[in-house]
Chain A
Amino acid sequence: MPDGVAIRAQDLQKQFRTVSAVRGVSFEVRAGEIFSLLGPNGAGKSTTISMLSCLLPPTQGDASVYGHSIRQSPQRVKACLGVVPQDIALYLDLSARENLEFWGKMYGLRGTALRQRVAEVLEIIGLTERQKDTVGTFSGGMKRRVNIGAALLHRPDVIIMDEPTVGIDPQSRRHILDNVKELNRQGMTVLYTTHYMEEAQELSHQIAIMDQGKVIVCGTHAELIRLVGERTRLDLTLDTEADALVECWRGIAGVHSLSADHGRLTLLVDDSNLVLPRLFETASQFGVRITSVTIEEPNLEAVFLHLTGKALRD
């Protein structure tokens, strides 16, 4: 592993016929850190990690995992990686234990080592009691935990997790996030993709924000927040869509960014105490009611808005 870099992506590109899904992505993940790819759906996160996992060949560029090129040595790369796919990729008619044993064998584990490791992983994912039940009978959150467990069996150097908390209950989500932190504490490098800003904020040592197939910014949480300075994020809801009012607000002094989506607006402003009265005043002039206001300290959502001019939810 040269320079303590676990993953190095260099100008990765992926073209699907006429669609450029990934357009020159470069970043470095240092060994032992949690690195998040944050971006809206369609930003190119999953395609990027599919290339890093050797599931898709890049159209251009290269990447290395622990010094092994995804182009030159895909089998070595795969041996270093544990991949947790976005969708549940398990055999629903097999039990949790049978699934883990099968995937362990696919990573070359056998005999006592396999049995011991399966028992450990069942403990990690909290399903020792349900190990003999078929996965098809599990809740969504339990399936997600088995889905993660299957990637941990061979004690990979790097685990790649593609939106592992999509569509699950808060309790399972909490369990998964705690698992990720614990795995990292044990020394595992984690590459994590999400479109949930809070997850990236809670977990990550480094965050790369992606949009439209590109990494638009990369750094620690604090470094990214500094990009928006002392600005405050305002989330407003109007009782009706009002394009003219929105255009008027763009021109108000102290408003830096404004994103509108069906009556829901997100603004980056210098000083909310000064700007908010002006917003109410002009709304009244346009005959529009502001039905809710939320004032947020600068966060990754604000960074995304600052850099792209649109909200992360867009």
Chain B
Amino acid sequence: MKTLTIAAKDLTHIFQSVFSLVMMFGAPLMITGLLSFAFGGRTSGTGTFNLPVTRVQVVNLDQPDGAAPGFAAGKLLVDVLQGQSLSDVLAVTLVSDEASARTAVDEQQAGVAIIIPPDFTAAATSPDRSAAVVIYRDPTRTIGPGIVKDLVRHVMDGFSGAKIAGQVTADGLSAAGAEADQALKDTIVHEYTAWLQSDEHGAEGAAVPRLTVVAPTGAAQPKSQGADLIGPIMAGMLVFFVFFMGGNGAESIIREAEQGTLARLTSTPTSLAAILGGKFIGVIVSLCIQVAVLVLASLLLFGIQWGQAATVILVSLGLIVASAGFGVMLMSLITSSRQTGPVLGGVMTLTGMLGGLFTTAIPTIPASFNRVALVTPQGWALQGWKLALSGAGVGQTLVPVVVMLVMGSAFLAVGIVLFRRRFA
């Protein structure tokens, strides 16, 4: 009964502390929300990933010279940008003068302005000429202008390829003792360009999409790409802040020792085991509440589907035991609450980084890093949550859960031994 009284008192302290509430709930949800926003806003309920539409103003000054009848490079570029397949991403409007297009970008009415020069067709068809397409972009935007730049480069590469084809043909004729006149060179370039145009539109003339958003396959239920991105990020934040609060909760033992209340507790007919037990139960219950709130809040706020209920409960159990045990052991190693901030922040950040908690959104992590991550309890916890997110069943998450339970129990045993030695 005294153990529960101590636990209840500690819980009161935790939930009266603004710092604790921020670190338990505010920080992980806020960081995940910010990352979600940075990656293009929260996911929609329809399961699509909403890339923001980029407004593009095109100034087509191109004046075909008649050397290649029926071919206008500037118009080809505009057609590509205005293609149906890009309508969800780009909103392209034609304007007549360069100054107004640049002003639109400066005033953030458009994300990108493209200025096609007057001699663009001539440069595209003549091997000896060149022209520069100007892309004027809003420096505060990244994704939309990047797409536009890649599309323009793709078209320009096509023109360059045509010119190279003409030059290669001429060089081949020259090596064979024949001379390629200008008319032949122009014919080759026109043929290449015509082929490129037909290839751009497919064999049957259907538009080939230049930007395709593909949802991963194999998931148990339809999920958005945004949720797939935000899920691991939230899992990383969940693990990090639960471990942080495990340490922060265990710090109450140090704090009570300094405030004299621990000595006073031991002057009552209450055993040290009951006191430490009460403090551990307080930490465990606070972590249970933290995990439950974060899982539910992230489901409601970000649409994260955490997986099967039994798996989530099992992984939560492993996480809570591991973080509470790790926190108790960490606090048993420090001697004063002045050390708590640096030690807690430093160790949790370092082990969190090693455990991969801050790199969950990077898809190209080397396998060796993933192996190193499993040195830390955070690495195992993250693996458990990733499995849960992928829809894994209880059986598939048993290994990380068992490892977390074993690690947590071992950490807890070490911590209790050290605390008993200190306060006995």
Q: Give the interface of A toward B (CB within 8 A).
A: 53-55, 75-76, 78-79, 81, 83, 85, 87-91, 93-94, 98, 102-103, 105-108, 110, 150
Contact = CB atoms under 8 A, between A and B. Distances in A.
Nearest to A53: B267
A75 B267 CA distance: 9
Contacts of A150: 264
A151 B265 CA distance: 11
A110 B265 CA distance: 17
Contacts of A110: 1
Contacts of A90: 261
Contacts of A106: 2, 5, 265, 268-270
Interface of B is mostly: helix
Contacts of A78: 267-269
Nearest to B17: A93
A147 to B, nearest CB: 9
Interface of A is mostly: loop
Contacts of A102: 5, 9
A93 B268 contact: no
Contacts of A108: 2, 269
25 contacts: A54-B266, A54-B267, A55-B266, A55-B267, A78-B268, A79-B269, A81-B267, A83-B264, A85-B267, A89-B259, A89-B260, A89-B263, A89-B264, A90-B261, A91-B261, A93-B17, A98-B12, A102-B5, A102-B9, A103-B268, A105-B2, A106-B265, A106-B270, A108-B269, A150-B264
B13 interface: yes
B46 interface: no
B16 interface: yes
Interface string B372-407: 000000000000000000000000000000000000
Interface of B: 1-2, 5, 9, 12-13, 16-17, 259-261, 263-271
B12 A89 contact: no
A85 B9 contact: no
Given A93-B13, A102-B9, A105-B2, A87 B260 contact: yes
B252 to A, nearest CB: 10
Contacts of A55: 263, 266-267
Nearest to B265: A106
Residue in B9, B259, B261 whose Cβ sees the most chain A Cβ within 10 Å = B261
A119 to B, nearest CB: 19
A74 to B, nearest CB: 9
Contacts of B266: 54-55
A74 B2 CA distance: 18
A85 B264 contact: yes
A75 B269 contact: yes
A16 to B, nearest CB: 15
Contacts of B9: 91, 94, 102
Contacts of B13: 91, 93
B9 to A, nearest CB: 6
Nearest to B261: A89
A78 B267 CA distance: 6
A107 B263 CA distance: 14
Contacts of B271: 75
A76 B269 CA distance: 7
A107 B269 contact: yes
A107 B12 contact: no
Contacts of B259: 89
Residue in A87, A89, A98 whose Cβ sees the most chain B Cβ within 10 Å = A89
Q: Which are the 5 A-B pairs with shortest beta-carbon distances?
A: A89-B260, A89-B264, A106-B268, A83-B267, A78-B269
Residue in A75, A106, A150 whose Cβ sees the most chain B Cβ within 10 Å = A106
Contact of B260 (A88, A94, A98, A105): A88
